[in-house]
Structure 1
């Protein structure tokens, strides 16, 4: 599962309405006017009535941020995450329920994340007995992300716990912001290993936990669940654009990103690679630009990396070059983007 996920599906990423399952009940319990808040961010009650419908992700992100502020509950997203059910994942919940162990559950979630949340990205790393699941959001526009990111971590934690032993807790839950005054909801959800001011959002667990059996799984139903998944999602192999995007991200960080280097890694000549990309409606330059945009959004939205460091991670020779590119790409400075993303 070391493959980085491909980029967004829609110009404006969408999420399933089922993602907000339980929102109205929690809002009412905390004294909020849920319908009024939905209207304030451009949503309506009718938008939540059909769990299979799709909503603009940026509106849901703003809804969570606004709800946390007006209720004076920085742990709003954690409380909402506790109300999530496996079915809110949509069609892939059937496959997730029948996967034999945690490793396969995470594989399905990562491979098919766009079937329930086009803005969400997931990546699993394993090193020295520890598995780390990193989560981040790519909206393409500045938005206060902390509540939405926390909600994604809480939802993942809930999916894992649904198939694990009742006593299971992650080794650590990590959040890229300072701890609120009251962390009891965090500890109830994630256990004692809650860490703030981290460079990423996500969960760490013992690598051996990946072999934990899924208690929801029925081996006799597993073949049917996978057949359903393949039919419902129409899974295909990675496109040339996807493979180039993955390599560009790796090479940007190394400082050796070029069409020639990517073509060599794919064992084709540069002219052939250009032709394949043109057949998919894109160019190498466009992929580099889009990859930089996604990486910039990820790094600006989590942790406190200096802008100079981010500039070099994106393959720019100087911070000034990064600043000019960012302003041209997003219409605002990277510093202003970071302020908005932190609410």
Structure 2
């Protein structure tokens, strides 16, 4: 089956074009280089093929020869340009909720990649994933995505918000003064990921424009728009809600009524949808807890007790019983287990190197990261 080409919403592409026009680049030249439609500005919700957007970045990179171009484009952007996604971020109850909102509804801007958020004991990593060759155009596009992500968070949390570090997978450009001035922290190139790292406590900050009621309304609007782009199952939506709750500052398992409210439906309707898809809320909670337990226990910076509490267990004894059921091992035996591809791992038959193999017959959970 041929997969459709990833796309970028036209208003994002128009912002790049507008900035290039101010730099003296001719519009007709950009249209030829990137095969852009003439009606770009007239239909800001239109979806533009990713190949054309990457060609545009490539053309601008060669024409302007300015390594700070992606930073300047990001600086010129406003969070209001993101429409419902931007307003949902602005009204989020916490910076953590704002980050999760962009990770969940990022496909409204582009379905060419995804944002993922992971937390350790002291840091939170906000990473941008897009599996394409690191050509000039792709590198410039990735830098803009990361820089604009920080710009939006600064609009929410304050201009003084500073990452611990910023990382990019590609090699360093010849001139990096613009990067250093904007990010105001170490910028590391040739890194394993594209993204930002912050102190974990920064995510607990409450933005001045926080409004939970309005945020929930905007999230429901974003959810409806996302489903128009790529309808997904109720199972995936519930999985994501469980992951979000377990990843929050308080941790713990969300109740079915709470998840139903977050998805804009009733408990009874949600049960019916999940039953029609051959699963249940209890089954999904167990799947997600198992997946997160395997991931968290590989991190030696977080204690077994902290993992148990984050996953909503009353004590380590209950958590130990769950690990025996899931993996056939006690939590302490899973500490530092190598991840996929690590040397020295001894996988079970049929598993990937370093994978924690469930002891039951459940399918492995598919925790959805929207935008993939």
TM-score range, shorter chain: 0.5 to 0.7
For the pair shown, which has the larger CA radius of gyration, 1 or 2?
2
Retained in 1: the 8 A contact 2:33–2:59? Answer: no
Retained in 2: the 8 A contact 1:172–1:193? Answer: yes
Retained in 1: the 8 A contact 2:84–2:218? Answer: no
1:23-34 map, 5 Å: 23-34=16-27
Q: CA deviation at 1:266?
A: 9.3
Partner of 1:180: 173
1:92-107 map, 5 Å: 92-107=85-100
Q: CA deviation at 1:130?
A: 1.4
Please identify, of 253-262 and 129-138, the stretch whose mean Cα deviation from structure 2 is larger: 253-262
> Could you tell me which of 11, 31, 39 is aligned with 1:46?
39
Greater relative contact order (Cα 8 A, min sep 6): structure 1 or 2?
A: 1
SS at match of 1:107: helix
Partner of 1:268: 361
Q: CA deviation at 1:158?
A: 1.3
Retained in 1: the 8 A contact 2:108–2:225? Answer: no
Classify 1:227/1:198 alpha carbon distance in 2 versus 1 (closer, same or farther; 3 Å): closer
SS at match of 2:181: helix
Q: CA deviation at 1:25?
A: 2.8
Please identify, of 64-73 and 183-192, the stretch whose mean Cα deviation from structure 2 is larger: 183-192
Q: Normalized against structure 1, the TM-score is what?
A: 0.65
Q: CA deviation at 1:76?
A: 1.4
Retained in 2: the 8 A contact 1:17–1:53? Answer: yes
The answer for unaligned runs of 5 or more in structure 2 is 241-283, 296-338, 367-371
Q: Normalized against structure 2, the TM-score is what?
A: 0.60
Classify 1:227/1:68 alpha carbon distance in 2 versus 1 (closer, same or farther; 3 Å): same
Please identify, of 87-96 and 164-173, the stretch whose mean Cα deviation from structure 2 is larger: 87-96
Partner of 1:58: 51
Partner of 2:235: 237
Q: Paired residues, what number?
A: 262
SS at match of 2:235: coil
Q: CA deviation at 1:115?
A: 2.2
Classify 1:264/1:46 alpha carbon distance in 2 versus 1 (closer, same or farther; 3 Å): same
The answer for unaligned runs of 5 or more in structure 1 is 1-8, 278-293, 295-343
1:49-88 map, 5 Å: 49-88=42-81
Partner of 1:193: 186
Retained in 2: the 8 A contact 1:153–1:201? Answer: yes
Classify 1:212/1:65 alpha carbon distance in 2 versus 1 (closer, same or farther; 3 Å): farther
In structure 2, distance between residues paired with 1:193 and 1:129:
18
Question: What do the CA deviations read for 1:137-165 (whole angstroms, capped 9, x no partner)?
Answer: 135x7854211111110111111111011
Partner of 2:147: 154
Classify 1:150/1:257 alpha carbon distance in 2 versus 1 (closer, same or farther; 3 Å): farther
In structure 1, distance between residues paired with 2:128 and 2:103:
10
